[in-house]
Amino acid sequence: MPGKTKVRRYDSQDVAAYLCGMKILMVCLGNICRSPLAEGVLQQKAAGAGLNWTIESAGTNGFHTGEAPHHLSQKVAKKNGVDISCQVSRKFIAEDLDRFDKIYVMAGDVMADVKKISGQKFNQQKVQYFLDELYPGQNKNVPDPWYGDEDGYVEVYDLIDEACAAIVDNHLSSISKKQTT
Ligand code: 4NP
């Protein structure tokens, strides 16, 4: 019946929140195992959801600056249809707090490093444990696969995949909640 169909109303803020080029940084220690996976997986999921996000990654220790991701991270990503081979490791810097809207840390030691490197620029609103998207407020660590074998990389990939799906889902549901309030 004409006039009966409910039209979902989007105000300009909702549209901006959906379309805006949110900038997200994934951070681990070396930027060769965990955060390159998080960068590649979230890039793919965000693009699939039509989100115009910029997603990068960095490491706090700088030991692998200029290197490609670990070959086992590349392998597990490729098996899952994600190509991370072109990424290049770089060190996290305080200015990343200015450039990014959201900074996800992979673990507690990374959070401590990020606070130290950021100094005065540290912003609690922007820096969050990555796994808090799945387990809010629990500050859980993504295990570091660097010291282990291939199985560790597979486990970490699955966890990262789940958390990246949660990032997109949580974002989309926060937008639709706004429309119903
Ligand atoms: P990531 O793993 O932080 O997940 O990239 C590591 C890679 C290298 C080192 C530590 C962690 N490292 O000390 O060289």
pLDDT per position as a tens digit, 99-122: 999 999 999 999 999 999 999 999
pLDDT, position 148: 96
Residue 2 scores a pLDDT above 60 = no
**Model pTM score:** 0.90
Pocket test for ligand 1, best of 89, 106, 144, 157 (most atoms within 8 A of CB): 144
Pocket test for ligand 1, best of 26, 27, 29 (most atoms within 8 A of CB): 29
Give the confidence band of 175 by pLDDT, cuts at 50, 70, 90.
confident
Mean pLDDT, residues 70-97: 98
Q: Could you please report the per-residue DSSP string of 87-135?
A: ----B--TTHHHH-SEEEESSHHHHHHHHHHHGGG--TTTEEEGGGGTS
Angstrom distances, CA of residue 102 to CA of 64, 67, 72: 23, 24, 27
Mean pLDDT, residues 90-99: 98
Residue 8 scores a pLDDT above 70 = no
Domains of the chain: 21-180 (3.40.50.2300)
pLDDT, position 171: 92
The H or E element that residue 11 is part of is none
Does 42 sit in the ligand 1 pocket, CB within 6 Å?
Answer: no
165 Cβ contact list (under 8 Å, min separation 6): 45
Check if the beta carbon of residue 145 is closer than 8 Å to that of residue 33.
Answer: yes
Question: What is the Cα–Cα distance from 85 to 40, expressed in whole angstroms?
Answer: 10
